[in-house]
């Protein structure tokens, strides 16, 4: 009876695993538009292993005899179960200790951020563990010297996640594309275009970066575009990246560290067991099985939410964004600081996908994975989001003109469709190319590199 239940359970489990692998698509498929080479190899090995494993399980319930150092040992099914349990326990213990050692400096919610990701004044920074081509100075780019060589022309690009742009590979990022184009144009100069963008960074983060790190790197030019994160600073629901009421110094905005902060200060269970092995096993299953079905359900859910959003269900119209004055202060201060050192500054505005005639699919991208702006548990409607981001873009243009620095209208250069945007603000390969080309033309046409 036990044997039959065990074999049935094993076959059911194996069938579920095979189905999970069939209904999965790798992030960067190489074979049949479905799997990576490595995943294909694992899938094939998994199929081939079925019969040998079934044979082992079948023999598990038979009495066996082994001879060890001229002695005969009889292994009953009960003894086999005890030995197997001990082996599994030892293996689990070894894996748990190894993972705890490896991830001892990682936060324990997603095991994504390490202690090197934290910064006492900027909240977070890039760490070399991330798969983004991060160099030793914490920028997404090639390895560079902190003090530049005599023949180097150094451009530093400031901004948030739309400058960092995790959504595309390193070589397709606007900053990298600009660097390669300028190197071809000016072969006698060593051109460096440094990507100093980081997720959740506002104009205040960039100001701190410039003051205490970047100006000491002797930049020959600064480029910056901001807007969306500064807008979020005054429209987020409390508890979503923020704590408490809006503050003009953005001290309410926790950004990238919000999940970790809230998790740390949340009341903890009286009794809990934290097993790193279990965390990784759950993540492994989520990442490698049934992704097609999960994505299909998610897309359907997002489509329904998008339709409700377009019908203005649970939305609100808001024309108040308190952080506009802080944004004006921050970029004005950056202008003053760069003028002090006679460093050319180019300010761009924030490209976006928001539009009143957005399709259901486009709205789905705008509200996914999360529409941050909320008031009284209602989401800001498209009119409010447009009003807000246009207000921040207008401040960028006005302050640039008032202070006599270069302003580039990036927003008008990128068509508002899904060929150029992956979501409300981040760009596809095409979007990145447009941004790189826009800055390239301005720099070359105005002979800014001598």
Give the residue-averaged pLDDT of 219-233: 97
My answer on whether 97 and 132 are in the same domain is no
pLDDT of residue 129: 61
Give the residue-averaged pLDDT of 306-324: 93
What 3-state class would DSSP assign to 31? strand
My answer on whether 77 and 185 are in the same domain is no
| CA–CA dist 280, 199 (Å, integer) | 25
Nearest to 438 by CA among 346, 317, 367: 346
pLDDT of residue 215: 96
What 3-state class would DSSP assign to 123? strand
My answer on whether 60 and 150 are in the same domain is no
113 inside domain: no
The average confidence (pLDDT) of the chain is 91
My answer on whether 60 and 168 are in the same domain is no
Tell me the whole-structure pTM to 2 decimals: 0.87
Rg (CA), the chain: 27
Q: Is 354 exposed, middle or buried (0-12, 13-18, 19+ CB in 10 A)?
A: buried
304 inside domain: yes
pLDDT of residue 412: 97
User: Does residue 12 register a pLDDT over 70?
Assistant: yes
My answer on whether 314 and 430 are in the same domain is yes
My answer on whether 81 and 195 are in the same domain is no
Domain assignment of residue 97, given as a range: 2-102
| CA–CA dist 235, 318 (Å, integer) | 9
191 Cβ neighbours under 8 A, 6+ residues apart = 152, 153, 155, 179, 182, 183, 449
My answer on whether 98 and 166 are in the same domain is no
284 inside domain: no
Q: Is 72 exposed, middle or buried (0-12, 13-18, 19+ CB in 10 A)?
A: exposed
The percent of residues above 70 in pLDDT, for the chain, comes to: 97
My answer on whether 25 and 154 are in the same domain is no
426 inside domain: yes
Domains contained in the chain, number:
2
Nearest to 27 by CA among 287, 283, 280, 279: 287
Contact indicator for 267, 328 with CB cutoff of 8 Å: no
pLDDT of residue 63: 78
- Higher local confidence (pLDDT), 279 or 344: 344
Please write the tens of the pLDDT for every residue from 150-168.
999 999 999 999 999 999 9
My answer on whether 431 and 395 are in the same domain is yes
Give the residue-averaged pLDDT of 231-250: 90
Last residue of a domain, one of 40, 72, 102: 102
234 inside domain: yes
Banded model confidence at residue 446, pLDDT cuts 50, 70, 90 = very high
Q: How many residues does the chain have?
A: 450
Please write the tens of the pLDDT for every residue from 367-420.
876 778 998 889 999 999 999 999 999 999 999 999 999 999 999 999 999 999
My answer on whether 75 and 135 are in the same domain is no
Q: Which range, of 49-58, 75-84, 220-229, 341-350, averages the lowest pLDDT?
A: 75-84
Per-residue DSSP letters for 159-204? Answer: ESHHHH-TTS-GGGSHHHHHHHHHHHH-TTSEEEEEE---TT--HH
My answer on whether 354 and 386 are in the same domain is yes
Please write the tens of the pLDDT for every residue from 246-283.
999 999 999 888 877 887 787 877 777 788 888 889 88
117 inside domain: no
Per-residue DSSP letters for 402-421? Answer: HHT-EEE-HHHHS-SSTTTB
450 inside domain: no
Contact indicator for 342, 279 with CB cutoff of 8 Å: no
What 3-state class would DSSP assign to 315? strand
Domain at 421, CATH number: 3.40.50.1110
CA distances (Å), origin 356, targets 274, 296, 303, 395: 47, 27, 17, 22
User: Does residue 313 register a pLDDT over 70?
Assistant: yes
My answer on whether 246 and 384 are in the same domain is yes
């Amino acid at each position: 009876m036990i044997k039959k239940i065990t074999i049935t359970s094993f076959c059911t489990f194996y069938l579920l695993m095979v189905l999970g692998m069939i209904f999965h698509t790798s992030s960067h498929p190489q074979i049949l538009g479905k799997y990576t080479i490595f995943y294909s190899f694992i899938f094939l090995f998994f199929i081939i292993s079925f019969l040998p494993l079934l044979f082992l399980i079948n023999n598990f319930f038979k009495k066996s005899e082994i001879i060890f150092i001229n002695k005969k040992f009889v292994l009953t099914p009960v003894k086999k179960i005890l030995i197997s349990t001990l082996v599994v326990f030892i293996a689990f213990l070894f894996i748990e200790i190894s993972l705890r050692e490896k991830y001892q400096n990682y936060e324990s919610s997603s095991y994504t951020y390490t202690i090197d990701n934290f910064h006492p004044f900027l909240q977070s920074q890039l760490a070399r563990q991330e798969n983004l081509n991060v160099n030793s100075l914490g920028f997404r780019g090639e390895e560079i010297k902190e003090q530049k060589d005599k023949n180097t022309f150094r451009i530093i690009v400031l901004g948030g996640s739309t400058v960092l742009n995790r959504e595309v590979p390193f070589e397709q990022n606007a900053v990298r594309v600009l660097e390669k184009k300028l190197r071809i144009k000016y072969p006698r100069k060593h051109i460096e275009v440094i990507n100093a963008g980081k997720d959740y960074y506002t104009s205040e983060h960039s100001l701190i970066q410039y003051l205490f790190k970047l100006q000491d790197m002797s930049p020959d030019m600064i480029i910056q575009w901001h807007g969306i994160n500064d807008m979020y600073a005054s429209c987020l629901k409390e508890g979503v990246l923020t704590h408490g009421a809006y503050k003009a110094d953005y001290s309410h905005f926790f950004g990238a560290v919000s999940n970790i902060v809230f998790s740390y200060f949340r009341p903890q269970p009286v009794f809990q067991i934290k097993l790193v092995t279990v965390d990784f096993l759950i993540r492994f299953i989520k990442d490698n099985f049934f992704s097609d079905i999960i994505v299909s359900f998610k897309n359907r859910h997002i489509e329904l939410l998008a339709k409700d959003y377009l019908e203005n269900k649970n939305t609100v119209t808001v024309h108040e964004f308190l952080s506009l004055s802080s944004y004006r202060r921050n970029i004005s201060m950056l202008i003053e600081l760069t003028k002090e050192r006679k460093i050319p500054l180019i300010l761009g505005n924030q490209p976006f996908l928001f539009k009143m005639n957005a399709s259901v699919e486009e709205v789905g991208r705008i509200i996914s994975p999360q529409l941050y702006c909320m008031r009284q548990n209602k989401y800001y409607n498209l009119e409010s989001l447009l009003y807000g981001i246009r207000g921040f873009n207008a401040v960028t243009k006005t302050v640039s003109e008032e202070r006599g620095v270069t302003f580039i209208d990036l927003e008008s250069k990128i068509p508002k469709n899904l060929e150029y945007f992956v979501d409300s603000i981040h760009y596809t390969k095409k979007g990145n190319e447009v941004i790189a080309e826009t800055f390239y033309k301005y720099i070359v046409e105005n002979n800014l590199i001598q």
